[in-house]
Structure 1
Amino acid sequence: MIRILLVLILLLTPYHPNSITGSKDKLENQISTILSRIPSNTKTGILIYNPLTQDTIYSHNIFSPMIPASVTKVFTTATALSLMGKDYRFSTILFTDDSNIKDGTINGNLFLKGFGNATFSSEDLLHFIFKLKNLGIKEITGNIVGDDSYFDNIYYREDWIPDESANVKLPPISALVLDRNKTVSKRKRGRRTIYITENFKNPPLNIAQKFKQLIEENDISVNGVAKSGITPDNVLEIAESSVAITDLIAMINKHSDNFIAECLFKSIGAFYSGKQSNSFYSQQAIQEFIKKNNIYSINTEIVDGSGISRFDQVTVASVNGVLETMYFDLKNFESFYNSLSYAGVDGTLRNRLTDLPNGFSFRGKTGTLNSVIALTGYLMSDDKDELIITIMFEFSKGSWNFYRDIQDEIIKSLAELKKESSDF
C-alpha cells in the first residue's frame, strides 16, 4: 500500500526534465571517471534503476551474459520466497511405524526423514532422544532408518552439472542433513589432538548410524541396525525440528552460505514439482519465476543454487528484474530485503560502504569467483525513494579489492549526488 501511494504521489508531482537530465549527466561523468581506472579488457555491466518511476538512471552493457558468482543466490532465494511464502518451514521429522508407543517399547522402526532442513544438528538429534525418553521409551525392536528421499541421491553439483569444473567442493547435498553433513574425528599425534573434518559419504546411512549410537548412549536399547530407507505412509510422528525460510535465506544472502543455498535449490525443486527433487525441477522452478514475472530472460541460465558454477549466466538486466520483482511483492519484500547484507553492519558487506552520507543505507548481495566480482542491492534514503543498483565485472587484471572499491565509489557518488539534488 505504501508503494502504491508513493506511485500516485510521483504521478501528481511536477516533472522537471532539465533538472533530472542535468543530474544524470553529472552522475554519468562521475561514473565514467571512476571506470576510467579499469583495464580496457574488463567486462563491465552496470544498471542503476528507480523501480517506482521505472526510470533508468544509468546503464552500461546490461544485456550481455556475465558470470554472477554468488549473486545467483538472489535468484534462488527470491524464487523460494515467491513459491513457498514467508511462513514456510523446512523440517526434519522423527516417525515410527508402531501405532502404540505408550508401553515403553517401540515395536518396530524409527524413521528419521529430512525435508530440506539444512540446519539440523546433533543438538537437535539429542532433543529427539530426550523426547523418546520423556515418552518412557526403553527399547526399539526394529531398525533406525535414515530417509533422504525428498531429494534424489545425486549429492554433488559436479554430478548434476555436465562438465562442471568449479574448484569449490561442498559436502553432499541431501534432504536429510546432520551438522552440515560433516563428521569430526580425533587423531592423536604425540601430545596433540588433531581434529579431522570429513564429509558424509552416504548421508542417510551415516546419520542413522549416528542416531543409533546416541540412542544407545542414552540407555535406550536398539535390537535392529542403522540403515537407509523409505518412510512408509502409515506412520506416527514423534518429534519435529524445523527452520523458517526467513532464517534460511538470511544465512544464504547475508553470509553467502553455499551449502545451505544448494539445499534450498533442491527444496525448490521438490516443492515446485510435488515430486522427489532433482536439479532439473529446481532449474525449471527458477525459470518459471523469471517467466512469470516478465524478468529479462535472454542469456540467463541458472544451473545451481549457490553461484559456484561458472556455467551460471545472467545479465545485469535480469538481476535488476529479480530485485524489482521482489520490491513490488508486498507479501515477501520485507523478508527478502532483511535477508540481504546490511552494508557496514553485517554479512559480506559488514566492512563496506561505511561512509555513505547520513540518511542513506545499502542492502545487497555480493558475488566473488576467480576473476569475477558482482554486487546488487537497494540504496535506501530517508525520503523512501529507493534505487536498485547492480554492478558486475569480469576481469583478468587487478584484484577483488580494486573492483570492490570501484563498486563502492559508484554507490557513494550516487548517494552524494542524490543527497545534493534529490532528482533521482
Structure 2
Amino acid sequence: MLKIIGSSLLSLLWGILGNTPQQQVQLESIAWHDTALFQLPDDRSDPVVQQIVDDYLQNLSQQGIKGNLQGVWLQSDWLELGEHQGNIPVSAASLTKIATTLAALGKLGVEHQFITRISHTGSIQGGVLQGDLIIEGNQDPFFVWEEAIALSNSLNQLGIKEITGNLLVNDQFYMNYQSDPEASGKLLKQGLEPGLWSSEVKQQFRALPIITPRPQLTIKGKVKVIENLPRDAQLLVLHKSLSLMNILRQMNIYSNNQMAQMLADTVGGASEVANYALEITGVSPSEIQLINGSGLGVENRISPRAATKMLMAIENLLQPHNLQVVDILPVAGRDSVGTMENRDIPQGVAVKTGTLNQVSALAGVIPLDSERKIWFAVINSGWQIKTFRQQQDKLLKELVNHWQLTPIINNQSFSETQVYLGDPQRNQIQ
C-alpha cells in the first residue's frame, strides 16, 4: 500500500512540473516504525549494565547478605539501564534530604534568601542603645557564628557598642541549627559579645577575611522570647541569608539533619515535602513515605527509582538558572569534606549518602559527557555498613570503567562566586 501511494505521489509531482520521467523511480516502502528516527531503544540495549548490577548483588550474597533486602536503580535521562527491586520503598536514611531539597527549590526558588529583621526600642546616644535589641527571625536554617559576628560589626557601624536592655527574639529565629528560640537567643548573645566568645567562636572569627574587624559590643540585659514585635520598634538592619542554593549545598555536603528539618518545616512539613515530590516525579504514592525532612528514623521510606526521579526533577528545576545537580551535591574529586570523607567514589560523580544503623544508601549522577548523565540509587539494608559502602564505591567504579569515562569536574560552579558566611554585604543597614 505504501509503495503504491509513494509511486502515485511521484507521478503527481512530475505531472505538476509538466514533465514525465523516461524511467519512473521505484520507491521502497519503509514503515515509519522501522526507521532509525522513530526506533525506541530496547531497555536491555546495554546488557552489561544489568550484569554489573547482578554481579554486585552476587558479591553481597557471597558475604551472607540477603539480596531481597537490597535495592538498585540505574537509568539515563529517559531509559532504564539496570535495576533490582527498584520500585520497592525501603528505609532510605538521608536520601530523604533529596526530597527536602526538591521541595525547597520548587517552593522557595533557587535564589531565595531568608530575611532576619533587627530592630530596637528606645534611643541611641553616645554609643549606647538605651532600650532592647529585637531579632525577628524568618526560619533561616544557616544563621551561625560568622553571621552573628557580622551583625555585631553592623551594629558598631550604627554607633552601638552597648545595649542596656534585653535581647528579644521571636520563635522563628534559629541559631547554630537550634530551633528553640531561647537557646538560639543565648547563642546569638554569645556571638554578638566578644567578651563571651568561646574558643569555637574565636576560631570562626579567625577564619573570616583578615580585614574583618573584631566587634565591640555588650548586652546588659537578658534573652527573652517574644510573640509580637513591640509597637515602638525601629528597624536597624535587614540581614539576608546565603542563597537557598548555597544553603542546600552545605546541607547535602554535611548531611545536616537540623537544617533539613528546618527547611522541611518552612515548606509545610514532611507530608508536604512528600506530596510535592510525588506530584513532580509521578511515581507511585507508596514509593515516597516521609515522617520528617531529615531521614532520621526507619519510617522514612523511598524506592531507589523515586530517589533517581527526584534527582532528575531537581536538575530540571536548576537548568533555567544554568545550574545542575552537581552544583548542589558533593562531587568526588572536588569536595573532600563531610560525607565524602573516607569514600572511594570515582572522580566527577555527584552523590548523596544516607546512613542509619541498618541502612547504607547512595544516590547521585554519573556525567557521561557535557550532555548525557546516568542517574543511580543504591539502598542497602543490613548491619554491614562498612561492606555496603565499599561495594557501592566498587559498583560505581565498574560502571565508570564500563563506559570508559573521563572525569568531568566543574570547578567553576556557582560556589566559586564571592559569597561566604559572615559577609557584611548581606547586612543592609537602614
Letter in structure 1 aligned against 2:111: D
1:364 aligns with 2:351: yes
Task: Point out the more displaced range, 215-224 or 205-214.
Answer: 215-224
Other-structure match for 1:166: none
1:131 aligns with 2:165: no
Distance 1:419 1:138 in 2: 62
Other-structure match for 1:203: 183
Other-structure match for 2:334: 345
- Percent identity reads 20
Indicate how the Cα distance of structure 1 residues 205 and 129 shifts in structure 2: closer, same or farther if over 3 A, else same. closer
Give the RMSD, CA atoms, in angstroms.
3.4
Deviations 1:365-417 (A, max 9, x none): 01111121111111102262211111111024xx3232123222322222233
Deviations 1:204-263 (A, max 9, x none): 553465478669998767675431113427543212252221221111112212232222
Letter in structure 1 aligned against 2:360: I
SS of the aligned residue for 2:323 comes to helix
Give the TM-score normalised by the residue count of structure 2.
Answer: 0.69
Distance 1:333 1:61 in 2: 34
Matches within 5 A, 1:156-195: 175-177=173-175, 179-181=176-178
Deviations 1:273-326 (A, max 9, x none): xxxxxxxx4432442342244243214222222212211111112112201212
SS of the aligned residue for 1:227 comes to strand
Unpaired runs of 5+ in structure 2?
A: 1-34, 198-214, 406-430
Unpaired runs of 5+ in structure 1?
A: 1-10, 151-174, 182-198, 270-280
SS of the aligned residue for 2:320 comes to coil
Bigger relative contact order, structure 1 or 2 (CA pairs below 8 A, ≥6 apart): 1
Contact 1:143–1:223 (Cα < 8 Å) also in 2: yes
1:334 aligns with 2:327: no
Indicate how the Cα distance of structure 1 residues 13 and 418 shifts in structure 2: closer, same or farther if over 3 A, else same. farther
Distance 1:22 1:204 in 2: 56
Contact 1:113–1:146 (Cα < 8 Å) also in 2: yes
Matches within 5 A, 1:146-295: 146-147=169-170, 149-150=171-172, 175-177=173-175, 179-181=176-178, 202-207=182-187, 210=190, 224-232=221-229, 235-239=233-237, 240=239, 242-269=241-268, 281-295=269-283
Distance 2:192 2:44 in 1: 69
Distance 2:266 2:52 in 1: 44
1:301 aligns with 2:325: no
Distance 1:21 1:208 in 2: 57
Distance 1:363 1:93 in 2: 36
Indicate how the Cα distance of structure 1 residues 407 and 223 shifts in structure 2: closer, same or farther if over 3 A, else same. closer
Give the total of aligned pairs: 345
Distance 1:320 1:327 in 2: 11
Deviations 1:113-132 (A, max 9, x none): 22223332344334333333
Distance 2:73 2:253 in 1: 22
Matches within 5 A, 1:399-414: 399-414=384-399
Matches within 5 A, 1:390-405: 390-396=377-383, 399-405=384-390
Distance 2:102 2:158 in 1: 41
SS of the aligned residue for 1:373 comes to strand
Q: After TM superposition, give the deviation of residue 75 of structure 1 in Å.
A: 0.8
Indicate how the Cα distance of structure 1 residues 318 and 129 shifts in structure 2: closer, same or farther if over 3 A, else same. same
SS of the aligned residue for 1:389 comes to strand
Matches within 5 A, 1:96-107: 96-98=120-122, 101=124, 106=129
Other-structure match for 2:363: 376
Letter in structure 2 aligned against 1:406: Q
Q: After TM superposition, give the deviation of residue 332 of structure 1 in Å.
A: 5.7
Distance 1:83 1:205 in 2: 28
SS of the aligned residue for 2:288 comes to coil
Q: After TM superposition, give the deviation of residue 34 of structure 1 in Å.
A: 2.5
1:419 aligns with 2:399: no
Other-structure match for 1:163: none
Distance 2:218 2:91 in 1: 53
SS of the aligned residue for 2:91 comes to coil
Task: Point out the more displaced range, 385-394 or 234-243.
Answer: 234-243
Contact 2:346–2:396 (Cα < 8 Å) also in 1: no
1:311 aligns with 2:299: yes
Indicate how the Cα distance of structure 1 residues 333 and 375 shifts in structure 2: closer, same or farther if over 3 A, else same. farther
Task: Point out the more displaced range, 332-341 or 76-85.
Answer: 332-341
SS of the aligned residue for 1:89 comes to coil
SS of the aligned residue for 1:92 comes to strand
Letter in structure 1 aligned against 2:302: V
Distance 1:79 1:325 in 2: 10
Task: Point out the more displaced range, 114-123 or 400-409.
Answer: 114-123
Q: After TM superposition, give the deviation of residue 106 of structure 1 in Å.
A: 4.2
Task: Point out the more displaced range, 284-293 or 319-328.
Answer: 284-293
Indicate how the Cα distance of structure 1 residues 123 and 57 shifts in structure 2: closer, same or farther if over 3 A, else same. closer
Distance 1:375 1:65 in 2: 14
1:84 aligns with 2:111: no
Contact 1:94–1:128 (Cα < 8 Å) also in 2: no
Q: After TM superposition, give the deviation of residue 49 of structure 1 in Å.
A: 0.9
Contact 2:119–2:135 (Cα < 8 Å) also in 1: yes
